[in-house]
Amino acid sequence: MKTNHEIDYIIRGEEMQCVEIELDPNETVIAEPGAFMYMDEAIQMETIFGDGSAQSGGGILNKLFSAGKRMLTGENLFMTAYTHQGYGKAKVAFASPYPGKIIPLDLYQLGGKIICQKDAFLCAAKGASVGIEFQKKLGTGLFGGEGFIMQKIEGDGMAFCHAGGHIIERTLNPGEVVKVDTGCIVAYTQTIDYDIQFVGGIKNTFFGGEGVFFATLRGPGKIWLQTLPISRLASRVLAYGSVGGRKEEGGILGGLGNLFDGDGI
């Protein structure tokens, strides 16, 4: 018997997506602060400490410990619960914070647990537990970068993650390995073995431009990859802005462009 609330949903949009969730009376969905887009009048919003799951019960100390672990993943101490307190059907929607896709995850079909990047979780049916997942291997701890501290979503209902760019979903057979940039990993099932591998060769180390470590994901299990990690997008924006923009347009043309748009005055 499932313990999470059962919810219906529709994902709307192409590149700037939102997920519209349909609730029956007394059904609840939880979400990160800042994800909310709109809701029907019959839905009541409540700020809760932690994720509101049964696993976060057991007294204030357990709740504080659970919330403290969430802080390590860069998330808020509090989450928001949206409950339908009227009659019939009611809808609430949540939007992703940057261009990309929303991934629906049926935790019941995926073994009850998904591990995802620390900023990927968007919302889930009430009863899901959102916590922290430390990579246990020494290599991932020392060199894993974005992949060292991750989130885990546990339960038997629907959960939703968001990612940048396009999503690649792959099912790995037992022993099958794929090598990935750590920032491109969105989520994977608990049966996937995650590790960090050194890129050998002096030329790769100094001139490769992609870093000297990457992640290895070994099956069996399912993985979700993103084409545009937010960290990569942010670094490009910062690099572009730090040189006054237009560096790719050449000295003369760039100067004329800056003059016409007001940057050269």
Burial of 116 (0-12, 13-18, 19+ CB in 10 A): buried
Q: Is residue 1 part of a domain?
A: no
User: 51 lies in which domain range?
Assistant: 8-253
**Side chain identity, residue 201:** G
Residue 211 covered by a domain? yes
Average pLDDT on 4-21 reads 91
pLDDT at 108: 94
User: Does any domain span residue 262?
Assistant: no
pLDDT: which is higher, 31 or 257: 31
Name which of 3-7, 48-52, 192-196 the model is least confident about: 48-52
In a domain, 264, yes or no: no
Confidence of residue 141 (pLDDT cuts 50, 70, 90): very low
Which residues, 6 or more positions from 63, have their beta carbon under 8 angstroms from its beta carbon? Answer: 49, 50, 56, 57
In the predicted structure, residue 199 carries a pLDDT above the cut 90: no
- Please tell me the predicted confidence (pLDDT) of residue 182: 83
Rounded to an integer, the average pLDDT of 78-84 is 91
- Residue 260 domain flag: no
Give the separation between CA 257 and CA 263, rounded to whole angstroms.
Answer: 8
pLDDT digits (tens, 9 = 90+) for 24-60: 999 999 998 889 999 999 999 998 877 666 554 555 5
- Which of the four pLDDT bands, split at 50, 70 and 90, describes residue 16? confident
The pLDDT score that the predictor gives to residue 240 is 72
- Report the alpha-carbon angle 220-159-231, nearest 5: 80
Determine, yes or no, domain membership for 223. yes
The count of structural domains within the chain is: 1
Find the range with the poorest average confidence among 66-80, 138-152, 245-259: 245-259
Q: What percent of the chain has pLDDT over 70?
A: 67
- Check pLDDT > 90 for residue 79: no
The sign one gets for the Cα dihedral 169, 174, 180, 184 is positive
97 cis-preceded (ω within 30 degrees of 0): no
Residue with tokens 């009048």: 41
Most confident of 52-61, 192-201, 232-241: 192-201
pLDDT band at 137 (very low <50, low <70, confident <90, very high): low
**Per-residue pLDDT at 59:** 54
Decide if 88 is inside a domain. yes
- Condensed to tens digits (0 to 9), the pLDDT of residues 107-128 reads 999 999 999 988 899 999 999 9
Domain harbouring 209, CATH code: 3.60.160.10
Does 225 fall in a domain?
Answer: yes
Residue, of 8 and 248, whose pLDDT is higher: 8
> What share of the chain has pLDDT > 90, as a percent?
46
For the segment 212-221, the average pLDDT, to the nearest whole number, is 87
- How would residue 142 be classed by pLDDT, with cut points 50, 70 and 90? very low
